[in-house]
Structure 1
Amino acid sequence: MLENMRTVGVVMAFILAACVTAETAVSQPSTAKVDGHISDRGWDLVWADEFDGDALDRTKWSPEVSCWGGGNEERQCYIDRLENVSVAGGYLWLTARDGEWTGPGVHMEHPAYPGASKTKPYTSGKVRTRDLAAWKYGRIEGRMELPNGQGAWPAFWMMPQSSVHGGWPLSGEIDIMEAVNLGATCYDCADSDVENRSSGAIHFGKRPPNNTHVSERRALTSVAGQDGMPREQFHTFAVEWGEGRIDWFVDGDRFWTAKAEDWFTDAVRKSENPNAPFDEDFYLMLNFAVGGKWPEGDNERGIDPSVIPSALIVDYVRVYQCDADLETGRACMFDD
């Protein structure tokens, strides 16, 4: 029964994407949808997308359209078409595909957008809540199956809605989940000879090239009730973000914490506002990048052509806020 459900979901996705061919098929989800939950620590659900419809909810998400490369020399154009961004079978599918595309050469907030055109060898999907929904503090959680292969770079992250402290990275960046090259040869993984880690990070500091970040990686472990290698399973990624502190979680396990003393912004004196830049409203993003400086310079290097086509498959995204402590969010976080 579960296998039939997965097959139906995949067929629906392919029909919507107009790409039902053996050459362009992407792998199906490794498990059926399940209800997510968190411990009752006072978090109140304030926003969610369960992706139960047959189209992207554009009151919640807007697709990005650009070929600028994310500032990382990524190899894809993000475009707004069903082959790359679709909802079917209870999932959001952000699918990377082979084939040249020409589009805007700068990002969508650039004053010169769309700018001079750029051509990239791949297409993919990216969706954002910018100008639709943003939050200061809370628990932000998503359940997803990550694409595998050298050159694959899925991400679940947050950026400031208004950039009140200045342009990137003065106003900060919160990376809830990134993963590169899953399944490729790994030379520094502690418990595996293949890449099996996701990571969390924050970016902050001074203007490029003097910007900085802190990050932590965490090996993906097997989830009960799912088949396949851990890197091929659905996992739940989350941050709990309160005044002066951010905690990162994978499958309910808190694996890293960053505190106000770990970050700064060149826009504000630390003594005047120790929590800046992570003290403003941030919006959400989900994307699947192909290549770029990080994945192409790590593991087996470059891009394995067999990565394409594949998809970042998202079961749900949920945002909670601390009902008893909207001001700081700290009352609902774990004790330090």
Structure 2
Amino acid sequence: MTITGPLKAVTLAAALLLVGATSPPEQVIAPREGAGWELVWADEFDGPTLDRSKWTPEVSCWGGGNYERQCYTDRPDNIAVEGGMLLLKARKERFTGPARPPEIAENPNPSQTQSHTSGKVRTIGKHAWRYGRIEVRAKVPAGQGTWPAVWMMPDQPVYGGWPRSGEIDILEAVNIGAKCRKCKGGRGENRTISALHFGDFPPQNRFVDGRAALPDLALPSDDFHVYAVEWGEGLIRFMVDDRVHLTVTADQWKTASPRARGRPAAPFDQPFYIMANLAVGGRLSEENNAKGVAASSFPAQFAIDWIRVYQCGSDPDKGRACMK
């Protein structure tokens, strides 16, 4: 249908109002260049579609190794770029797809069916970085059974399979708003999680994590916030809105890989790529808070305003000079 004349003008005005209502208000953040960080890569999600020179959607139904309940698809129903944001959308719908993503698929790759669909994008095979500051401005969904995350995995398994080569979790928001006995503020689960995973193959795997509540104890699903990691040789620290909530040093992590001998910062001394996804259920989600997956949590949406990568201009090889 073609719209012309006064009706077209009214429709365009309404569309502009809608865009204005859904676009996130920009938060003033001190320029990273002031601390010596130089912007080397970013996606502001200002285009009409996902920039596939930067991202590859994952298509798989394997549950991420955590018994999650979603199939990740490459459909607009699950991955969209709208209003200057990347939207990862989880829906309750039965779906069948490939069991595993290509890099760990069997041959042939069997099919698997899940109860939900969702979206996941990765820079795998396109972009990876060693050391720097990675920021994401995002608004997480609320609800028992929702598990949005922005995290990093090694570009190459230099020290072996998970978690010998490490994992960096910048943001995880599990069951936001669900009942929580340990949470202050009276509104339920209001903490986000950052973590490092390392060690040996399960069950000898290890991790260090930290949970952060906002200063006013608001739910992180109420508004956009900036989640960041600063990563230098032997030092990693995590922030929410520029407040450091977790600092980890090399004496707190290790890898069981014999390839790490003589490398005290291993496994976090190699390039890592970025992922963003909205998982449904899984052990971390379903075993905590109100337990299980609530039907009322879906559809759910994880909105990402931008993702930016900085590296230390004066110390690109180690990154430590900018971590003041």
| Post-superposition offset of 1:231 | 3.3
* Alpha-carbon contact 1:147-1:182 (below 8 Å) kept: yes
Q: How many aligned positions are there?
A: 310
CA drift of 1:187 comes to 1.2
- Higher-Rg structure is 2
Of 27, 40, 43 in structure 2, the residue corresponding to residue 46 of structure 1 is 40
Q: How does 1:23-38 map to 2 (within 5 A)?
A: 31-34=24-27, 36-38=29-31
Q: How does 1:1-336 map to 2 (within 5 A)?
A: 7-8=18-19, 31-34=24-27, 36-39=29-32, 40-112=34-106, 115-192=109-186, 194-222=188-216, 229-268=219-258, 272-334=262-324
Give me the TM-score of the superposition, normalised by structure 1: 0.87
Render the CA deviation track for 1:237-280: whole Å, top value 9, x for unaligned. 00000000101000010111000001000003776211000000
Per the normalisation by structure 2, the TM-score is 0.91
Q: 1:106 to 1:269 in 2, by over 3 A?
A: closer
> Structure 1 residues 78, 6: CA separation in 2 closer, same or farther (over 3 Å shift)?
farther
Aligned mates of 2:55, 2:171 — CA distance in 1: 18
Q: CA deviation at 1:317?
A: 0.2
Q: Distance in 1 between matches of 2:141 and 2:242?
A: 21
| CA displacement, residues 165-202 of structure 1 (integer Å, 9 cap, x when unaligned) | 11110100000010100001101124545100001000
Structure 2 unaligned regions, length at least 5: 1-13
**Aligned AA (1:330):** R
SS of equivalent residue, structure 2 residue 255:
coil
Tell me how far apart the structure 2 counterparts of residues 266 and 73 of structure 1 sit (CA, whole Å).
Answer: 25
Equivalent residue letter for 1:139: R
Larger helix proportion, structure 1 or 2? Answer: 2
In 1, the alpha carbon distance for the partners of 2:210 and 2:15 equals 38
CA distance in 2 between counterparts of 1:6 and 1:260 reads 50
Q: 1:106–1:113: 8 Å Cα contact kept in structure 2?
A: no
- With over 3 angstroms needed to count, the CA separation of the structure-2 counterparts of 1:6 and 1:180, relative to structure 1, is farther
Partner residue, 2:3: none
Q: Which of 260-269 and 47-56 deviates more?
A: 260-269
Runs of 4+ in 1 over 2 A off after TM superposition: 3-10, 31-39, 190-193, 220-223, 228-231, 268-271
In structure 1, what residue type is equivalent to 2:174?
A: V
1:7, CA displacement in angstroms? 2.4
State the secondary structure of the residue aligned to 1:121.
strand
- CA 1:263–1:269 in structure 2 vs 1: closer, same or farther (change >3 Å)? farther
Mapped contact 1:122–1:290 kept (Cα < 8 A) = yes
Residue pair 2:93, 2:115 contacting (<8 A) in 1 also: yes
Q: Is the 8 A contact 1:33 1:90 kept in 2?
A: no
